[in-house]
Amino acid sequence: MSSTESLPSVMPGDPSWWFEEALRHEGHRSASPPLVGELRVDVVIVGGGFTGLWTAVQLKARAPHLSVALLEASLCGSGASGKNGGKVSGYWSALPSLVKSIGADAALAVARAGTRAQDGIRAFAKTGGRDLWWREGPSIKISAAPAQDKKIAAYVSEARRLGVSDSVQALSAQEIAGRVRSPVFRGGVMFTEGATVHPARLARALRTAAIEAGVQVFEHTPMVQLERGSPNRLTTPQGQVIAKEVVLATNAQLASDPQIRAHVSVFSSYVVMSNPAPEKLQELGWLGDEGLSDLRMFIHYFRKTADGRILMGSGSGPISYAGNANAVSLTQDAGSAARAERGLYRLFPSFQSVGLAKAWGGAIEVSSDRLPFFKTFPNTRVHYACGFSGHGVNPTYIAGQCLASLVLNQKDEWSSLPFCTRSLPNLPPDPFRTVGGRLVRWGIINCEEAEEQQRQIPLIARAAAKLPELLGMKIGTR
Ligand SMILES: Cc1cc2nc3c(=O)[nH]c(=O)nc-3n(C[C@H](O)[C@H](O)[C@H](O)COP(=O)(O)OP(=O)(O)OC[C@H]3O[C@@H](n4cnc5c(N)ncnc54)[C@H](O)[C@@H]3O)c2cc1C
């Protein structure tokens, strides 16, 4: 922790506020039983978050005759899917960086896939009497410090250059204040597509939908070993699954695989949830359903909830050594929770008197070009999705569609997307990657805090923050 950091008023810990609320909403129905004995299926999916569950639902929708099982180590939705900010956004806001890394046509294909995902999630949220707190509203990036102002123009000019000016609009300080007032908001950029959702209720509803579609769901059933072959064999503590097709949807845990690890680093993101204060939201003039973030690199992301709270996230959590997704620092780092809390009070000072209900953190797997990848290990029938880079609520829908296409060997509008077809740059090996990553993170956090406080950036922090750019890397550059 740096000298400027303090402890959060609530220490971070599992489960998330969302997950507890979702289980209460369900009436604490019992978990699906663990797998005992041998099971033979066409497809086994490992991991019961959004990725695994969308894949299960989409597979059954496209090929109802297939036998599909899903193994979840804990309870479905207890991972990142049940603990994220619930900000739903596709890729229109990523166009400038996507164009640089994959080119204009591919960037537009990715952005259009995000729109199809928004349509798909909306359709799911609005049917079957589900109450998932789905609220559509624009996604807005706001400058909250003079140094962030310069980023706004790039979004607008790139969209104009690509002929998709409709997707984005610059907002003045007054226009932002017309949506939500903060003493530090200076203007921003609005993407018309976006939504917020109750992420844990979404994950649990997907679990129910999968079960109703005939998927055999086993909770408290970790896969402990995978023998790739024809068929594949998966071992669990009390049983085994024999399956022709395997889908690995275990998120940051996939960073332990050497082939995947070449392309991802494991970082973490932390969230604080305020107590309810609908009257304070009224005072802020926050009447719409925008999903918001500032324009830092280690962003603050925030939204309100249906019961009058503000969720504030900070994507500035520690990097774990050698891709270890189980490091304690990924879920219990007081400094990162304190940064999220400080962000809440800096942006919305009136919430200081409201206080926090909960704080928590979780792993995010950041890919070498910040775009997820959905692929099949060469010469196997083992498919996987990884690299959501802290942005997965909308993209996991795309992952489900792409993985279903890979399992079914379908060359279609999903499997031909860059998520499945591009090659990714390699990251430097450890220990250089982690040590270098930690240095750069430290430098950027210090630069961004100095910029917010409008004080001189320490030279050493500026130098550390510049390293990725000097090395020609695509992640870590501001
Ligand atoms: C704090 C935080 C805030 C975020 N905020 C946002 C946001 O606002 N918007 C956004 O778009 N994205 C956000 N994200 C990212 C988003 O949550 C993830 O990208 C997305 O949920 C990934 O879904 P998943 O199904 O791949 O992973 P998970 O939800 O993590 O699911 C993986 C599942 O696999 C299980 N598992 C792991 N190993 C095994 C095994 N061996 N056997 C069986 N099961 C196993 C785990 O228990 C887990 O349930 C955030 C992430 C975090 C951590």
Residues 79-97: pLDDT tens digits? 999 999 999 999 999 999 9
pLDDT of residue 6: 81
Average pLDDT for residues 240-251, to the nearest whole number?
A: 98
| Ligand 1 lined by 222 (C-beta under 6 Å) | yes
- Predicted model pTM: 0.96
pLDDT of residue 30: 81
The pairing of strands 373-376 and 310-317 is unpaired
| Ligand 1 lined by 336 (C-beta under 6 Å) | no
Please give the distance, rounded to the nearest whole angstrom, from the Cα atom of residue 159 to the centre of ligand 1.
30
Q: What are the phi and psi torsion angles at 282 (to 5°)?
A: -60, -45
Show the tokens assigned to 261.
């690890």
Show the tokens assigned to 195.
């939504």
Q: Measured over all CA atoms, what is the biggest interatomic distance in the chain, rounded to whole angstroms?
A: 64
Taking the domain 17-421, which CATH number applies? 3.50.50.60
Is 1's pLDDT higher than 70? no
**Closest of 193, 201, 202, 200 to residue 119, by C-alpha:** 193
| Ligand 1 lined by 301 (C-beta under 6 Å) | yes
Helix or strand (DSSP H, E) at 359: strand 356-367
Amino acid found at 398: I
pLDDT of residue 433: 87
Q: What are the strands, taking DSSP E only, across 181-231?
A: 188-191, 195-196, 216-218, 225-227
Atom of ligand 1 nearest to the CA of 236: 42
pLDDT of residue 3: 39
Average pLDDT for residues 436-445, to the nearest whole number?
A: 90
On the 0-12 / 13-18 / 19+ scale of CB atoms within 10 A, 140 is buried
Residue given tokens 């900000």 in the structure block: 87
Sign of the C-alpha dihedral computed for residues 241, 246, 252 and 255 taken in this order: positive
Average pLDDT for residues 452-461, to the nearest whole number?
A: 90
Give the integer Cα–Cα distance in Å for 237 and 455.
55
pLDDT of residue 468: 83
| Ligand 1 lined by 464 (C-beta under 6 Å) | no
Q: Please give the order of strands across the beta sheet that includes 291-294.
A: 168-171, 188-191, 139-142, 291-294, 300-304, 310-317, 264-274, 356-367
Is 432's pLDDT higher than 90? no
Is 4's pLDDT higher than 70? no
Show the tokens assigned to 43.
């497809």
Q: Beta-carbon neighbour count of residue 428 at 10 Å?
A: 16
Contact 155, 97 (CB under 8 A): no
pLDDT band at 475; cut points 50, 70, 90: low
Show the tokens assigned to 36.
């005992």
Q: What are the strands, taking DSSP E only, across 409-465?
A: none
pLDDT of residue 36: 98
Q: Which of 32, 71, 196, 251 to mutate to test the pocket of ligand 1 (most atoms within 8 A of CB)?
A: 251
Q: Beta-carbon neighbour count of residue 65 at 10 Å?
A: 7
Residue 91: partners with Cβ closer than 8 Å, 6 or more residues away = 98, 107, 110, 111, 113, 114, 395
Q: Where are the domains of the chain?
A: 17-421, 432-470
Distances (CA, A) of 107 to 98, 120, 146, 300, 396: 5, 20, 29, 24, 17
Give the integer Cα–Cα distance in Å for 74 and 444.
35
Q: What are the tens digits of pLDDT across the range 188-216?
A: 999 999 999 999 999 999 999 999 999 99
Sign of the C-alpha dihedral computed for residues 117, 64, 74 and 232 taken in this order: negative
Distances (CA, A) of 423 to 85, 264, 374, 392, 417: 29, 13, 11, 20, 12
| Ligand 1 lined by 176 (C-beta under 6 Å) | no
Helix or strand (DSSP H, E) at 161: helix 150-161
For ligand 1, atom 31, name the residue with the nearest CA.
49
pLDDT of residue 477: 67
Is 60's pLDDT higher than 90? yes
Show the tokens assigned to 11.
């220490």
Is 476's pLDDT higher than 70? no
